[in-house]
Structure 1
């Protein structure tokens, strides 16, 4: 599904209610029963009912969610698994609620800011070819000129829609991650958010007593970044051989210098949990700010491109018109 504000807000509400029920002591099954009675949207009733059946059959919560296929994104599932493993499921659910609330707010802002440029594009596509109605092409030429403008724009939009729908598939995620990471502000914002989620999940796991060898792959999965997951894929073997995470961080190319240095300091001083909390806050704030800037500037850039194209078409039309007059005279 394309990430429009409505579904994102309902997903945020689902996780927020879930976290509240867990914090109130209802447990996973009790919380799901309450959500089944009063879901944030009708589309949640059937998946929640299926999860309840799987829990009754003896599956863990993470296993029951995994059997729902693409109902949950891999990032959601990894963070839930880390929360369940660390005994801090409510904190993981609150983190997911904040994540989807921010995405819904960005989507609302982006759609509102895109409304005028999109309207301007369609108005230009319909009005600029009007003089062609008087030429030899007539109505057919006019329709062809309109399609020449709108078809490429719709092709780009449909390609983005297809890629977003395949974002949880085997080929969709790597392609989407490479594309988004190449976009200014968006790529940096996503990398910061991935580092923030990784640090937050790692802090939760370590605080809960999970061993560092097991905690790092779980935290990398919770980050939602395929690049981070690939980076730490062979770490359990290397950590078991006596290497420290700080050494592996310094040798890699994914983690920025600030993250590496702060982690090394926390590891030496025995204050790794506090260091990870500060890293999580820093990278989350940095990522959120960059994505907000991207949501503000992308519509402005699109408007500027469309306005420049319209100006070029108007100038080209009048230049041709005056050339025809001069040739007659």
Structure 2
């Protein structure tokens, strides 16, 4: 069943929502009362919360109500259901709050680093044809058309670059049949493949640890965590491990069947299994690895402003030599 309203996309909103739900659960408030309080504070998702209330008042279960109202994603629904069954909702809400808070922080850091170069590029686009306007070589409408048109063209270019992979693999351009080659490139392209695989494994382990912490059995949690891997070709590499787990083989030995799994990860999981603290061990490891991955991402992001600055310098130099404007290039 599809949710009645679109799912909430903002990681920050979801982080705040789950954090408040955990506090209210700790305070002993009923969920219906908690949602009423949230409705008075969360203006951005009022429609979702009101629909959530309607489902709860109609006697629907928490997970079904939250999913149909667009509050819970399909994954959140599974985790919350497990927490509800085990009587551990407070901890589950805290874990989900942490998950979405980390995502929100990553997005915020990326945006912060991009604000200045984007501002400088925008100013350059409007300043570059300004001498021609002052000298009456072009009119005001022509100046605005040139500047705004160039800005929109560059914006459209970057928008396409950021979305073309999802369009070709899961979106409206999937009919072109390029999904398989793209998935293959993600796994074999030098530089990109290691970056991609490391993050997919980290994401897989985060979701696996969340489900284990919620009390979901490993035989059930493992295939559900597999479903969070975006690349279906990479996902199939975990199938032998899933089959091994169903045969009663330990998670440690099962993951050895996945050639891309780092031995350090496997050793950490082995320690967790032997100590009886598998979920906590995986969460601790993914937290450490997450910090390392953020450091790598920040290094890449730091090069984006430099590329934009080099682009501007190149355009200025080209304009001086040829006398052309950015819009004519």
Q: TM-score, normalization: structure 1?
A: 0.70
1:305 and 2:307 aligned = yes
> Relative to 1, partners in 2 of residues 1:23 and 1:234: Cα closer, same or farther, differing over 3 Å?
farther
Point out which structure has higher relative CO (alpha carbons under 8 A, 6+ apart): 1
Q: Distance in 1 between matches of 2:37 and 2:13?
A: 16
1:294 to 294, 297, 301: 297
1:79 aligned partner = 79
Question: Does 2:263 correspond to 1:257?
Answer: yes
Aligned partner of 1:128 in structure 2 is: 128
Between the aligned partners of 1:54 and 1:251, the Cα distance in structure 2 is 44
- Please, which runs of 5 or more residues in structure 2 have no aligned partner? 1-5, 324-329
Q: CA RMSD in A?
A: 4.3
Partner of 1:277, secondary structure, is helix
Q: Deviations over 1:19-65 (max 9, x none)?
A: 011122334344334334x33x2243332232233234443222222
Task: Name the residue aligned to 2:46.
Answer: 45
Cα distance, 1:238 vs structure 2 = 5.0
Indicate which of 310, 313, 316 corresponds to 1:314. 316
The answer (yes or no) to whether the contact 1:29–1:55 under 8 Å persists in 2 is: yes
Q: 1:24 aligns with which of 9, 23, 27?
A: 27
SS in 2 for 1:100: helix
Q: Equivalent residue for 1:248?
A: 254
**Is residue 54 from structure 1 mapped to residue 55 from structure 2 by the alignment?**
yes
CA contact (8 A) 1:8 1:104 kept: yes
Alignment correspondent of 2:208: 198
Deviation at 1:245, TM superposition (A): 3.2
- Asked if 2 retains the 8 angstrom alpha-carbon contact of 1:198 and 1:280, the reply is no
| SS of residue in 1 equivalent to 2:256 | helix
Q: Residue 113 and residue 237 in structure 1: after superposition, are their counterparts in 2 closer, same or farther (change >3 A)?
A: closer
Shift in Å, 1:155: 0.7
Cα pair distance change 1:108/1:262, threshold 3 Å = closer
Q: Cα distance, 1:121 vs. partner?
A: 0.7
Q: TM-score, normalised by structure 2?
A: 0.70
**Mapped partners of 1:101, 1:216: distance in 2:** 24
Contact 1:200–1:277 (Cα < 8 Å) also in 2: no
SS at match of 1:25: coil
Distance 1:14 1:220 in 2: 26
Q: Which runs of 5+ in 1 are unaligned?
A: 322-329
